[in-house]
Amino acid sequence: MIDNFLLLFQAPTVAVQTLIDGILIGAILALAAYGMALVWGVMNIINIVQGELVILGGYITLTLANMTGIHPLWTVPIAAVVMYFIGYGIYKIVIHRVVDEDMFISILATFGISIILQQLMDQVFGADIQSADTGFDSWGYLDDAITLSQIHVISLVIVIVLATFLVLYLKRSKMGRAIRATAQDARAARIMGVDTDHVYATTYALNAAICGAAGSLVVMTWIIHPFLGLAYTVRSFLIVIVAGLGNMVGVIIAGLGLGAAEQYASFLIGIEFRVAFVFLLMVVILIWRNILLSKERRYLK
């Protein structure tokens, strides 16, 4: 561990590379997390199936690229659209039955869907480790001491474009306004003539579309597997509890921060503690939030 720490100073390029890797990973995590924040904020549902939706998006890209031979990058919007309808379907079949229930029930329901999706993906796509090559190279600097993978950079750009689009959509469009109104007070929104059921369905479908796009990027940059979804669920959850709900900028910053923190942690204390680190961070942040909250309550008394 000390060796690793010293290495950061002996070879500053390593520190820079770790930061770059972390931020580029964080961007994709932030995208998935934003979808989770949206569903959580609007519908009060913690969407445990988030990671599986991401992986499913990856499989859509993979299938399209293998079947039609088009470049995987062009499948990002297609994956998003397909996932939109899948999300809509999941809402109509399961989620709308639990949306007004206790949070515990919705957690159970989405957990159930995640298991079903895992097994379905396992049956349909097989359990091989999959990835799609984009044919893009990496830029190397300082005699390849620092490298910047082009597909990672393209992913970052896509994430930024999508994030901007989402912010504008929620701010400017009629549906966006309805979503925000429902998030603030569903009952009041209903009284004002907002079709909240439709808003919920759209929100959930939108989240699935976001996950689809994220998964599309994941399969081009890393690997996917039917059972790798949990990694994205846990990280999305962590980012959301750090950033809070309905805060796009916060989610992006928390996402990038988590990506970088994770990279540094696995560099310094060892990659085997990477997931442990994420969970530890989650616990610490939850405790911290709780302390803040209790202070506030005392003040109100």
Partner 1 sequence: MSFYRKLSFMALSTAAVALLAATPADARVDGDIITLGAALSLTGKYTTAGNHTKKGYELAIKSINAKGGVKVGGKSYKLKMKFYDDESNPARGAQLAERLIKQDGIKFMLGPYSSGLTKAIAPVTEKHKIPMVEGNGSSRSLFNKGYKYLFAVLSTANQYLEEAIPMAAEYAKMKGKKPSSVKIAMAFENDPFSQDVRLGVIEKAKKFGMKVIIDDKLPPEINDMASTLNKVRALKPDLLVVSGHSKGAALVIRQRKQMKVKVPLLAITHCESAKVNDAKKYGKGAAEGTLCATQWAPDMSYKDRVFGDAPNYTSNFKKAYGYVPPYQAAESSAAVYVYARAFEIANSFDSAKIRQALADFNEETFYGRVKFAPEGNNIAKPMVLRQIQNNKYVPVAPLNAAVGKLQIN
Contacts with partner 1 by CB under 8 A lie at 4, 7, 10-11, 13-14, 17-18, 21, 25, 66, 119, 122, 126-133, 135, 138, 140, 144-145, 147, 149, 151-152, 221-223, 225-228, 230-231, 263, 266-267, 270-276
Count of CB atoms within 10 A of residue 84's CB?
19
Residue in 228, 259, 229 with CA at minimum distance from that of residue 242: 259
Identity of residue 147:
T
Whether 72 and 138 have beta carbons less than 8 Å apart is answered as: no
Closest to partner 1 by CB, 41 vs 51, is: 51
Nearer Cβ to partner 1, position 56 or 170? 56
**Least distance (Å) between residue 175 CB and partner 1:** 34
**In the complex, what is the shortest distance from the CB of residue 284 to partner 1, in angstroms, rounded to a whole number?**
19
What is the smallest separation between the CB atom of 267 and partner 1, expressed in angstroms? 4
> Rounded distance, CA 81 to CA 209, Å?
6
The answer for residues whose C-beta is within 8 angstroms of residue 224's C-beta and 6 or more apart is: 55, 58, 59, 62, 129, 130, 131, 215, 218
Structure tokens belonging to residue 172: 């400017």
204, 87 in Cβ contact below 8 A? yes
Closest CA to 52 of 208, 175, 176, 170: 208
Using the minimum distance from each CB to partner 1, give the nearer residue, 105 or 116.
Answer: 116
- Name which of 64 and 183 has its Cβ closer to partner 1: 64
* CB of 122 or CB of 185, closer to partner 1: 122
Residue matched to tokens 């972390």: 22
Minimum separation from the CB atom of position 111 to partner 1 (A): 16
In angstroms, the CA 243 to CA 254 distance is: 6
Report the C-alpha gap between 2 and 176 in whole angstroms: 50
Output 28 or 170, the one with its CB closest to partner 1: 28
- In this complex, which beta carbon is closest to partner 1, that of residue 227 or of residue 247? 227
> Which one-letter DSSP state was computed for residue 130?
B
Measured from the CB of residue 101, what is the shortest distance to partner 1 in angstroms?
A: 29
Q: What is the DSSP string of 156-214?
A: HHHHHHHHHHHHHHHHHSHHHHHHHHHHH-HHHHHHTT--HHHHHHHHHHHHHHHHHHH
Work out how close the CB of 82 gets to partner 1 at its nearest, in angstroms, rounded to a whole number. Answer: 21
Please, which residue, 88 or 267, has the CB nearer to partner 1? Answer: 267
Q: Are 156 and 27 in contact (CB under 8 A)?
A: yes
Q: Is 221 helix (H, G, I), strand (E, B) or coil?
A: helix
Least distance (Å) between residue 261 CB and partner 1: 12
In whole angstroms, the minimum distance from the beta carbon of 252 to partner 1 comes to 19
DSSP letter assigned to residue 128: S
